[in-house]
């Protein structure tokens, strides 16, 4: 059986020889499928009508290895978790079960990012060591969802799936994935983040990354300062410091205020606000940007001064 391994994970496993600026703390794996996903998300290299390289997900290359080889490397205990990414195709659920069975004796916690599956499969996943499920809502705007997510699953069905995950796995065990920069307004993004936390889910933020061969290859990624504003909003909501309705937006839905002044914000924020937020042990290095560029999501803790500069810049724009 074959499996894809993210480039950084493959380097950490010594399957590929290369230098790393930040080592992945989770083993990022992707189910191998000799074909494209049956869904047609406009941003995704795996999409049904995409002409992008099938070895890519976001900007990351995922080379193929024998599962047996990968299992041997995982036994060496260099990772705190396995994160299994999937593409949608007929028979996916059974293939996921096969992989989970192969991972079971490694005694590593497992996250699975997957499109909606029947309840019986979620229960089987839990029995085989899965403790978190990633929900690829991706689009933070109901207004834009159908245009960008040409998918078998509607906006409401994705939220229903998140509800079912929480019912089976528990509060905080569903991670709603949101990609910032797909045309959503700040208001839509913040309100979607609030909805996720209100139902008992968590949110993992990604920055849109244009990939050649996808429908959105010519769309620009979000500015860093806009992304930082959404990250800070997420931090305030997650930690129950503020709610979405306390933020201030202009008529176009752009974020004007977090409902607090600069000093108040500095007193409650931590560097965690700009770091990767995912399942325990997830740092997802350079998923959305080249290592030579400032990361959207820091894989390691930045210096305290960095956050001060970000807040100064935000309030300078206000």
Q: Where are the domains of the chain?
A: 2-317
Q: Over the stretch 229-257, which tens digit does the pLDDT of each residue have?
A: 999 999 999 999 999 999 999 999 999 99
Beta bridge partners of 82: 27, 110
Alpha-carbon span 209 to 7, nearest angstrom: 17
What tokens does 252 get? 């176009």
Q: Could you say which DSSP state residue 275 is in?
A: B
pTM of the model: 0.95
Please report the pLDDT score of residue 318 as a whole number.
61
pLDDT at 78: 86
Residues forming beta bridges with residue 60, ordered by sequence position = 57
Q: Give the model's pLDDT for residue 57.
A: 81
Q: How far apart are CA 249 and CA 189, in angstroms?
A: 12
**Tens digits of per-residue pLDDT, 178-193?**
999 999 999 999 999 9
Write down the architecture of domain 2-317 according to CATH.
Answer: Alpha-Beta Barrel (3.20)
pLDDT at 288: 82
Q: In the structure encoding, which two tokens stand for residue 154, read together?
A: 């509607």
**Distance (Å) of CA 152 to CA 44, 46, 159, 184:** 15, 15, 14, 21
Whole-Å CA distances, 182 to 38, 51, 134, 207, 290: 21, 19, 19, 9, 20
**Positions of the chain with pLDDT lower than 70, given as ranges:** 318
Query: Burial of 184 by CB count in 10 Å (0-12 exposed, 13-18 middle, 19+ buried)?
Result: buried
């Amino acid at each position: 059986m074959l499996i894809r391994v993210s480039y950084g994970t493959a380097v950490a496993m010594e399957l590929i020889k290369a230098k790393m600026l930040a080592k992945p703390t989770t083993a990022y794996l992707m189910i191998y499928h000799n074909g494209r996903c049956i869904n047609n998300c406009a941003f995704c290299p795996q999409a049904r009508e995409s002409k992008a390289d099938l070895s890519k997900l976001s900007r990351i290359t995922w080379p193929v290895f024998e599962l047996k080889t990968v299992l041997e490397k995982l036994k060496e205990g260099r990772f705190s978790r396995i994160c299994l990414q999937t593409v949608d195709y007929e028979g996916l659920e059974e293939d996921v079960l096969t992989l989970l069975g192969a991972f079971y004796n490694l005694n590593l916690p497992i996250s699975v990012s997957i499109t909606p599956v029947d309840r019986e499969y979620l229960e089987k996943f839990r029995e085989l060591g899965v403790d978190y499920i990633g929900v690829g809502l991706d689009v933070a705007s109901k207004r834009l969802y159908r245009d960008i997510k040409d998918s078998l699953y509607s906006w409401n069905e994705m939220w229903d799936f998140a509800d079912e995950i929480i019912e089976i796995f528990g509060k905080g065990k569903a991670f709603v994935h949101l990609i910032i920069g797909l045309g959503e307004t700040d208001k839509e993004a913040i309100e979607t983040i609030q909805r996720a936390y209100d139902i008992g889910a968590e949110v993992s933020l990604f920055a849109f990354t244009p990939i050649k061969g996808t429908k959105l290859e010519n769309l620009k990624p979000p500015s860093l300062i806009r992304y930082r504003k959404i990250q800070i909003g997420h931090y305030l909501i997650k930690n129950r410091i503020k709610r979405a309705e306390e933020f201030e937006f202009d008529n176009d839905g752009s974020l004007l205020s977090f409902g607090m002044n600069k000093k108040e914000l500095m007193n409650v924020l931590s560097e965690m606000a700009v770091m990767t937020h995912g399942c325990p042990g997830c740092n997802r290095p350079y998923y959305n940007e080249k290592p030579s560029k400032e990361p959207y999501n820091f894989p390691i803790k930045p210096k305290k001064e960095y956050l001060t500069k970000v807040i100064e810049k935000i309030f300078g724009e206000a």
